[in-house]
Structure 1
């Protein structure tokens, strides 16, 4: 957990880092962490990290071992997360490998502070980490990106940007890779996300995906509190 420790030290020691915490959150990779045995309920009293398959869905969950975080795998495409305190966490359900499909979701999302409700995924060749943000808390995560433009999908405008992550943890170990963001203007807690529309728009901005690895509808949180109950289909 060298990365997380260094991030926390930077946040505690520099006000500039406190003003932009999601920039560091973006460096977290679920799959790069050491797994523990799968369970229906993962309660943080150490550093939980689990991924696998349940009821036809792929799930993955990671947290840094600080604060209080509970992740519960429900039936089918449902899951729940509660979190509070000085924690970094990300988890959700989806597919592995991902694909250009439609995500249908409903979420009871309550947040006090910095968190994101999003599609989260990776590709290889090229190595890309991507997010389609449907809702967020106190901080707009798209602020970390170099803006490439805007496009319309699923009834709203999305702002598209990218960031180059240098020598950061990834699904292939420590690598330099592109991070792509699409942030929805009109926040929502339920709806349909047409991934093909986003992927096609990214191509127009010369943002290229590779071969799909895992793909989640996820909750990502950093130094905040809240709860989410998600059903995905």
Structure 2
């Protein structure tokens, strides 16, 4: 693929939280149902990315404008959403619903850069697993009515938008969970730079739903502010 990465596989172990971009072929035992096939593209003026590792059932739907919906059941890992390509230090807003509060799932602004290759998350809400668990905090920022903790993790020999690679992940994780609001992305990029986390040339950037070894649903609409 190309859709994303990492989110759920626990740091340095099989529990790290995250998804990685590769297409796998489903089997009779790992049947995927979907309205939109895994991959990337454009739909009604927005870029979309839908990645799944092929295990469990996940149905992703591109809807009008910046809206998408997704339902998943007994998945291993998937990540999907709408946004822009290339990403930028823009201000964006989103609204919607998310039924993932009690399972391993995220709502996050998610993207990639090249040169250097970096996968990044601005996590707006998370369920049963906090991605900052077991990591060293770099710092924190206050933005858009909340406080975000900043940290970095590494992925070694994992799938990426450029094939199997080793690359860092940059994270801002909101302390006050929410589903809906405005994200000043530049604030996070500037804070990451302040703490020595350097991004490269932007590839795609989406407001993603991600699930790991869980079941749930979401319906999200994104817009540029």
From 165, 179, 182, the counterpart of 1:192: 182
Structure 1's consecutive aligned runs of 4 or more residues displaced over 6 angstroms after TM superposition are none
Q: Which has the higher helix share?
A: 1
Question: What 5-or-longer segments of structure 1 have no aligned partner?
Answer: 1-9, 36-42
Unaligned runs of 5+ in 2: 1-8, 26-30
Count residues in correspondence.
208
Residue 225 of structure 1 corresponds to which residue in structure 2? 215
Instruction: Evaluate the alpha carbon distance shift between residue 137 and residue 64 of structure 1 in structure 2; reply closer, same or farther with a 3 A threshold.
Output: same
1:60 Cα deviation (Å)?
0.8
Q: Is the 8 A contact 1:145 1:181 kept in 2?
A: no
- Please state how far the C-alpha of 1:33 moved relative to its aligned partner: 2.7
- Describe the SS at the equivalent of 2:88: coil
The Cα RMSD (Å) is 2.5
Judge which range, 64-73 or 208-217, deviates more.
Answer: 64-73
CA contact (8 A) 1:102 1:193 kept: yes
The equivalent position to 1:52 in structure 2, one of 29, 41, 49, is 41
Corresponding residue for residue 182 of structure 1: 172
CA distance in structure 2 between the partners assigned to 1:82 and 1:98 by the alignment: 26
- For 2:146, which of 130, 137, 156 is the aligned residue? 156
Cα deviation 1:37-79 (Å, max 9, x = unaligned):
xxxxxx9249x52210011100010112222211010000000
Q: TM-score when scaled to structure 1?
A: 0.82
1:186: how far off? 0.4
CA contact (8 A) 1:144 1:163 kept: no
Are the counterparts in 2 of residues 68 and 87 from structure 1 also a CA contact under 8 Å?
Answer: no
